[in-house]
Chain A
Amino acid sequence: TQLLEQSPQFLSIQEGENLTVYCNSSSVFSSLQWYRQEPGEGPVLLVTVVTGGEVKKLKRLTFQFGDARKDSSLHITAAQPGDTGLYLCAGARTGNQFYFGTGTSLTVIP
């Protein structure tokens, strides 16, 4: 049983379109991270959200942490081919426990 479920699992869109990826759980996390990973490389940290209801913006990416700290979303505006990759959310709990989401594979077509 996966603690964090991401949706959609796969997403293929045209350059310039907007998209949202969801990361949902029934458990509470002390913080939540979003990573992007390219094939054969390690995940690269995009953002950490800590406070319930927090919104962070990173250029065309907007991250939100749910009020109850159980879920999060990633919104990309005007997607570009360079956004292609595997997007992973990861929730942190006590005792250095990190739980990864199921992953969303994004392809942006030029």
Chain B
Amino acid sequence: DTEVTQTPKHLVMGMTNKKSLKCEQHMGHRAMYWYKQKAKKPPELMFVYSYEKLSINESVPSRFSPECPNSSLLNLHLHALQPEDSALYLCASSQVSSGYEQYFGPGTRLTVT
């Protein structure tokens, strides 16, 4: 099983709302990632968790708050977003050791109004 699931598939939120994106994998991977992707551009790394601890934060604004409650789950809490934050948000997982590939979820299409 190489499946990473993400919910919701689509999300529309106002700039004052608080919402959360969820990601789950059962491949035993101990590294999990959040990416942001604009149309026809490569994914941009936001956060990396390794063994449930935040290991990389690519200078992401504090209105995005990640959380890794256990080895299978990854959340991204959203608050006071801007319209330019509208994008496809992708979750991925991999083995922790170097050289292993990432597996991606289907993404959440976020629209901020």
Contact = CB atoms under 8 A, between A and B. Distances in A.
Contacts of A102: 42
A92 B105 contact: no
B99 A31 contact: yes
Contact of B107 (A30, A41, A45): A41
Nearest to B90: A42
Interface stretch (A13-21, A58-66, A93-101): A93-101
Interface in B39-53: 39-43, 45, 48, 50
Interface centre among B4, B90, B99 (most CB of A within 10 A): B99
A90 interface: yes
B42 A88 contact: yes
A52 interface: no
A90 B40 contact: no
Nearest to A39: B39
A interface secondary structure, majority: strand
B25 interface: no
What's the interface size class on B, roughly?
A: 20 to 34
Contacts of B43: 43, 88, 100
A17 to B, nearest CB: 22
Given A40-B88, A100-B42, A92 B99 contact: yes
Contacts of B56: 96-97
Interface in A23-38: 30-31, 33, 35
A42 B102 contact: no
A96 B88 contact: no
Contacts of B50: 96
A100 B98 CA distance: 15
26 contacts: A30-B98, A31-B98, A31-B101, A40-B109, A41-B107, A42-B6, A42-B92, A42-B104, A42-B106, A43-B43, A43-B90, A44-B104, A50-B99, A92-B99, A92-B100, A93-B98, A96-B55, A96-B56, A96-B98, A98-B94, A98-B102, A100-B42, A100-B43, A102-B42, A103-B40, A105-B40
